[in-house]
Chain A
Amino acid sequence: MTHIAERYLDLLGHDEAPRKAFLACSAAFRLDDDAARDAIALVARSNGSTESLLQRIKGLGCVSQRWDGSWYLTEEVRSYLADRLDIEVPPEVRHRLHEVFSSHAERRLATLAPDGAITVFHTRATRIESAYQKTLIPGREQEGGRELGETWLQARGSARDATAEAVTRIAEELTVRGSQLPDEVLFLRGMSAYRRGRRRQAEGDFRTVYERGRPGKIHAIAAHLFGTLVRDRREAKRALHRSLLWDPAPEGRAQTWHSLGNLVGGDSRNRLEAELAYRRSLELLHDPEDKAQVWHSLGNLLSEDRMRWLEAENAYRRSLELDPIFKGQGQVWHSLGNLLSKDRTRWPEAENAYRRSLELNTNFKSQGQVHASWADALMKVGGPPAFEQAEKLALKARTLDPRNPTTCGVANRVLADIYEARGQIEDAIAALEALQETDRQLDNRKHHDRIQTRIQELRQRAHAKA
């Protein structure tokens, strides 16, 4: 089937000039009349007929006029034509074309009044356009990449994610053109994948940037994120240390120290190193919310050492004081509940902590986790008299977050114990089989044999009973 862009080319007739003019306009994501005129004059050599060619192209149905006077070709048409541009237009003309669009974008930037959210948005979009054009000019690819990286760094909140998404789109284009992707483009593609939960893809991009590494913010963040994604702990640690060396900003280094603490703290032999990492992070941080997260992590680390439970509790409480976000506080109350539940004398306080966590954590996933932890703790503390409440909590946990293998694993274990103790053999077997499934999802083979043996024993008991 004929591509829609080919149909538009046919519609423009067999003359070279309109065809070339149309191709020229495909080199930019966003056009204004002045930029389009220069582009058409350059590529179509339209001396004298530029205006009529411009009007013809703007009159096509694949052109969308924006409210601010700028316009663009719809993406399916633009990307097809951009490929044709590569084939039909000599490289030196193409490179000058990208220079034209880049300089027009820079001029547009200079005219944007520094006022309001609309300027922030338009500045971002225009910078992306300008930088994209540069990535297509031999010798200026790195400059373009750097500008894309800076645009991302200057964006706030969801605009950062949106910038990473935009650059991912550009990366697709550059890949098709066979260009080597600048580090910043790779990094932002990785960021976009990371945000979308595509960890392996993100890891690949961050690794490349990290391995090409040099001091600077983007490379530091790439090394940091690579360190948090890669499974090999030694490699991860090396990447995190490299990030600490490259990152010029104390806040960035603080976050890396935090991640380093999380990494090494997983091994009980490195608790001291982890604690030092957390404390280093706390020294560098100023933002209370960030600090609250590190205190929370430190609390989790300390709670694993029976002798330092009091310090752990203090760390959690410090976190609660600092964290302005309910969701964050809800997680800390959850951790505090787990800590307090280890001391039978403080069980009422632990239950209060779980309740507080449920009040603050409004999403089902977090609530499911708290219900599972509460049920688990209740089994340990309360024994048979608490079975009924623990069962309710465990069932609720499964209902709230049925796809989370960790939450469901804890709930299934609790339910299996309760049903076995009550003599509900079939229910116990079902719970253990569900537990096996969640372990399989978590790739946890540690308890597989033990669970299997338990299931067999239960089946034998059921058989004997029958």
Chain B
Amino acid sequence: MNRGFLYQKLREDASELADNLDRIWEEALAIWREPRLLSMTQHGRPHLEQVEKNLDHLSQPLYQQGFPLSSAEIYVLLAACYLHDIGMQLDVPHAREQHAQYSYELILYSEDAAGRKLNVKLPIQDDNAREAIAEVARAHWASFATKLPERRFLYGNEEGRMRLLGGLLSMADLLDFSPVRARYYRTPHRLQELPTNSDLHQMKHRLIRGFRITSPMPQVPSDLQVQIEWRDDSEQVQMISDWVLHETSNYWRQIQPLLYSSSAGRLRWAAPWAQASFFTPQGPLRPLSREAYELLQAYRQEQQRIDRDEFCRAFSEALGEGRRALFLVPNDAGGDGLKLSSWCRTHASARKDMRVANLDIRRVDAPDASGLLAELLEQWGQHLPDVLEFKAFEFLRQELMAPGKGGAVAVILAEEYSPRLLDSLVGELFARPAEEQTPRVCVLFSPGAKGPADIKGVDIHRPLWPEISQSDLEAHLRESWGYNQDEAARQAEDILPLRQSPGFLYDYVESRCKAWRNEPPAASAYEP
């Protein structure tokens, strides 16, 4: 390995610690020799190397402003960097979900000091160092980083800045967008198909050409920015970028204040803190699978959704439990019907064995029942010949009654409620083979939530649709955008007057809270 800036510093100042770190590095590589969770993106050597590079970049402002890390701090930070993901290699359930805690435990008990079963053996003799490394490694999750003490003994009797180290590792890990992470099992001869979620994550890394942590303004070297380059400028890739940066910004917003305060204001970020550039693809690119794209849309919708939890829960339950359910939801001017209809569509599409269709019923399109049924069936993979209306309904019934075809979902967005057109159409959507419990769900968005009063055997839901409240907004700002309690409350108060236009609110919140920028493709300096 071409060792980086921090390592060299350690080697120059404390070669003994550097030697020890080398041995920890070897152990870490040995642990990752056989990755256990094959479907995950790269978490072995390339990831560790990239996180270390990120640490080098992130620590630059500290050195430039006379706030360097001590040898003990570098030792603990780099050792934690090498070991932070080893919990994933533990052969226990939920290793992925709880790996930060498992990594902590593996490091802490790596000397079997407490007589527990030895999972890994690490050459860390100093008890303070082992504890510090375990804590910093666990702190690569922001929630643990925020709980670290400001200072503690790191090595022997030498104290160090724990919160700073935790924050640095957390940020460095968060900012590993590197394309190398997609390498695993991406060969043409791969023996297994990836689950959709993994496919999406792998593609995300594959589509990234590269990224850098840099100072966008040379005259202000302490202000950092992440610049990501994507190898495609398609709408799909821009959506992936927004999904990734939304998620990353959420954590960035939690870690950034911690780093700022623990570095005494030395570690700052430019505005925007991240910038994405998109390039015209060179050569063929494998597109996202349909399932992965649907999942991506579902994730994106979920990131943007404000409240409506009750409805979303009921909708998901109806799908999961194979119910026959009709949801009558308002689609009023300025409302969030449009947003929620997309949410429903993408969430249903992301499920297995689900036929999903959405219908936009607008007066100017001159919709008739045959035309709408044709659109519906086409989305379910059936082609409707040019037939009279009653025949079209027969086709629909046949499609719904065919066994083994899975669930059926129709999301209808009606500009106005026409009982003549909609009552019969909606009424026919719930047929299913007697022996099956596959879901039949229709969500009808119409002005005033109008719809059929009663359909035999179908649960009709009229979910409460109150105005979005300040607490809903606060929760959204905290959970999706990473604001802390006080900041979320302040932002929500500012935005609240817009709650009567909840549809617009989504866009407004995004424009206000979005901390990254997408560079227009044409403006790129690398355009071939």
Contact = CB atoms under 8 A, between A and B. Distances in A.
A128 B508 CA distance: 34
B367 to A, nearest CB: 6
Interface in A32-49: 48-49
A457 B336 CA distance: 67
A74 to B, nearest CB: 6
Interface of A: 4, 7-8, 11, 29-30, 48-49, 51-52, 55, 58, 60-62, 64-68, 72, 74-76, 115-122, 124-125, 128-129, 132, 151, 155-159, 161-163, 165-166, 168-170
A128 B365 contact: yes
Contacts of A76: 333-334
Contact of B522 (A29, A48, A122): A48
A128 B370 CA distance: 18
Most A C-beta atoms less than 10 A away, residue of B357, B506, B507: B507
A128 B366 contact: yes
Nearest to A132: B364
A215 to B, nearest CB: 26
A52 B523 CA distance: 10
B142 interface: no
Interface in B368-413: 368-375, 378-379, 383-389, 392, 413
Contacts of A52: 520-522
A221 B235 CA distance: 49
B264 interface: no
Nearest to B395: A117
Given A30-B365, A51-B521, A74-B338, A117 B504 contact: no
Contacts of A51: 520-522
Contacts of A129: 364
A67 B348 CA distance: 14
Contact of A116 (B342, B368, B384, B506): B384
Given A62-B504, A116-B385, A122-B371, 20 more contacts: A4-B333, A11-B504, A11-B507, A58-B235, A60-B507, A66-B358, A74-B333, A74-B338, A75-B415, A115-B386, A117-B373, A117-B386, A118-B383, A119-B386, A121-B365, A125-B366, A128-B365, A159-B368, A165-B363, A170-B364
Contacts, number: 143
A157 B389 contact: yes
B238 interface: yes
B370 A7 contact: no
B374 A116 contact: yes
Interface of B: 235, 238, 333-334, 336, 338-339, 341-342, 357-358, 360, 362-375, 378-379, 383-389, 392, 413, 415, 420-421, 498, 501, 503-504, 506-508, 511, 520-522
27 contacts: A4-B333, A4-B504, A11-B511, A30-B365, A52-B520, A55-B235, A61-B506, A64-B360, A64-B413, A65-B342, A66-B360, A68-B375, A72-B362, A76-B334, A115-B386, A116-B384, A117-B371, A120-B374, A121-B365, A121-B374, A124-B371, A128-B366, A155-B366, A155-B368, A157-B368, A158-B420, A159-B370
A61 B507 contact: yes
A117 B392 contact: yes
Given A52-B520, A116-B385, A121 B362 contact: no
Contacts of B504: 4, 7-8, 11, 61-62
Contact of B366 (A11, A62, A119, A124): A124
Contacts of B420: 158
- Summarize A's interface: helix, strand, loop or mixed: helix
Contacts of A30: 364-365
- Summarize B's interface: helix, strand, loop or mixed: helix
A144 to B, nearest CB: 14
A117 B385 contact: yes
Given A11-B507, A11-B508, A61-B507, A162 B366 contact: yes
A236 B369 CA distance: 35
B398 to A, nearest CB: 15
Contact of B501 (A7, A29, A151): A7
Contacts of B333: 4, 74, 76
Given A72-B362, A155-B366, A162-B368, A120 B386 contact: yes
B357 A61 contact: no
Contacts of A121: 365, 367-368, 370-372, 374-375
A120 B387 CA distance: 10
Contacts of A124: 365-366, 371
A74 B503 CA distance: 11
A117 B395 CA distance: 12
A292 to B, nearest CB: 20
B388 A157 contact: yes
A1 to B, nearest CB: 8
A76 B416 CA distance: 12
A163 B238 CA distance: 38
Contacts of B374: 116-118, 120-121
B86 to A, nearest CB: 40
B234 to A, nearest CB: 10
Contacts of B508: 7, 11
A51 B520 CA distance: 8
Given A51-B522, A128-B366, A4 B389 contact: no
A170 to B, nearest CB: 7
Contacts of B365: 29-30, 121, 124-125, 128, 166
B368 A62 contact: no
A8 B507 CA distance: 9
Contacts of A155: 366, 368
Contacts of B383: 115-116, 118
Contact of A67 (B357, B389, B392, B421): B357
A321 B425 CA distance: 33
Contacts of B363: 165-166, 168-169
Contacts of A65: 342
B356 to A, nearest CB: 9
A128 B386 CA distance: 19
Contacts of A64: 338, 341, 360, 413
A155 B366 CA distance: 10
Contacts of B421: 158, 162
A44 to B, nearest CB: 14
Contacts of B388: 156-157
Given A51-B520, A64-B360, A75-B362, A117 B370 contact: yes
Nearest to A156: B388
A318 to B, nearest CB: 27
A19 to B, nearest CB: 15
Nearest to A114: B386
A330 to B, nearest CB: 20
Contacts of A118: 371, 374-375, 378, 383-384
A403 to B, nearest CB: 18
B503 A67 contact: no
Q: Nearest 3 pairs between A and B by C-beta?
A: A121-B371, A117-B374, A118-B374
B364 A29 contact: yes
A361 B82 CA distance: 83
Contacts of B413: 64
Contacts of B341: 64
A67 B346 CA distance: 11
